[in-house]
Amino acid sequence: MMNIKYIIGIVIVALLILSAGVWYASQPPKVSPLDQRLAACGSLPNGSTQNVVETTRMFINIPKDLYPDVNLQTTSQAATANYISNGGPYGNAIGTQDKSNCWSYYFEFDGTGTVDLVSKSGMGGIPDYTLHFVVSTSTNTQHNACPQIAKQCPDGSYVGPTGPDCAFVCPSPSASKGTGTLQGNMTIGPICPVEQIGHPCNPTPQMYAAHQVFVYNSDRTKLITTLTPDAGGNFSATLPTGTYFIDVQHQSVGAVRGAPTTIQVTTGQTGTITIIIDTGIR
């Protein structure tokens, strides 16, 4: 008769092996650093085969640091892959949405057969980037390609054609970027060398109007707007979300506190600043 301890030992080992298998199967697949870099550029999987019909156009994107040579090698067997210039300059097409660390190409595939695109690796241990295309005859006799493949919108983004009339619809300014409020107060003084009781020396509206507030972009390369304080020294503006550089005209006499400064405008929020103009009168 088999020893009961031996049987229990076999059962425990079997359960451990089964548990390990279940745990391993439940783990998410590991993504290699190469796959991560390719995914960041929107690249097709390296070494993959792509089945396309003739006249198909598509963007090919690859990371520059791994594949520094801008020139792609083409090996054709009956089918062809031709670069299309209306997608942007060779190597700098718009397929990567202005990602400076990625090459981008726009190709049209014609004929029937196969064609390979290869980019040589510039880093040890990284394989060449290779795509294999199988091009077949289209069964659709009507050519539905739009004459323009993309349009740059005022906010800098790109949109593709939609609908049968190939219309381009740009996002509205409010949808692409929210707005917030810049609000401030300015004080000016002293106005008189000696202020008498019952006769306060307050700044006039003209004094406030003479001290305009300048709102620049964050690196002060562009003036966004100019604000004129009201009779109480208050000023405000509705601005797109972002960081702004605030300043006033600095005089040779006196001093300014609170400017220059930077302020962050947040969507739906109000950012406040206070500017003190010291006239230097004593």
Kindly list the domain boundaries of the chain, sorted by start residue: 33-138+149-159, 177-278
Q: Per CATH, the architecture of 177-278 is what? A: Sandwich (2.60)
Regarding pTM above 0.85, the answer is no
CA quadruple 87, 91, 92, 93: dihedral, nearest 10: 20
Residue 249 predicted with pLDDT over 50? yes
CATH fold match for the domains 33-138+149-159 and 177-278: yes
The predicted pLDDT at position 250 comes to 81
Mean pLDDT, rounded, of the chain: 80
**pLDDT confidence tier of residue 90, bands split at 50, 70 and 90:** confident
Taking the alpha carbons at both ends of the chain, their separation in whole angstroms is 112
Percent of the chain with pLDDT over 90: 25
Question: Which range (9-23, 44-58, 181-195) has the least confidence?
Answer: 9-23
Residue 174 predicted with pLDDT over 50? no
Percent of the chain with pLDDT over 70: 74
Tokens representing residue 122 in the block: 């510039």
CA separation for the pair 41, 60 (Å, rounded): 9
Q: Per CATH, the architecture of 33-138+149-159 is what? A: Sandwich (2.60)
The predicted pLDDT at position 128 comes to 94
pLDDT digits (tens, 9 = 90+) for 50-89: 888 888 888 888 999 899 998 989 988 889 999 888 777 8
Which of 173, 179, 149 shows the shortest CA–CA distance to 162? 149
Residue 110 predicted with pLDDT over 70? yes
DSSP state of 95: G
Residue 25 predicted with pLDDT over 70? no
The predicted pLDDT at position 125 comes to 86
The predicted pLDDT at position 31 comes to 42
**pLDDT confidence tier of residue 42, bands split at 50, 70 and 90:** confident
Residue 227 predicted with pLDDT over 90? yes
Q: Which residue(s) pair with 189 in the sheet? A: 278
DSSP state of 141: -
Helices (H), the chain: 4-26, 33-40, 173-176, 205-209
The predicted pLDDT at position 232 comes to 92
Question: Which range (22-36, 40-54, 125-139, 245-259) has the least confidence?
Answer: 22-36
**pLDDT confidence tier of residue 7, bands split at 50, 70 and 90:** low
CB-based contact 215:225 (threshold 8 Å) = yes
The predicted pLDDT at position 141 comes to 42
The predicted pLDDT at position 116 comes to 94
**pLDDT confidence tier of residue 280, bands split at 50, 70 and 90:** confident
Task: For the beta carbon of residue 24, count every other beta carbon within 10 angstroms.
Answer: 8
Our measurement of the distance from residue 240's CA atom to the centroid of its chain's CA atoms, rounded to an integer in Å, reads: 16
CA separation for the pair 69, 76 (Å, rounded): 20
The predicted pLDDT at position 175 comes to 43
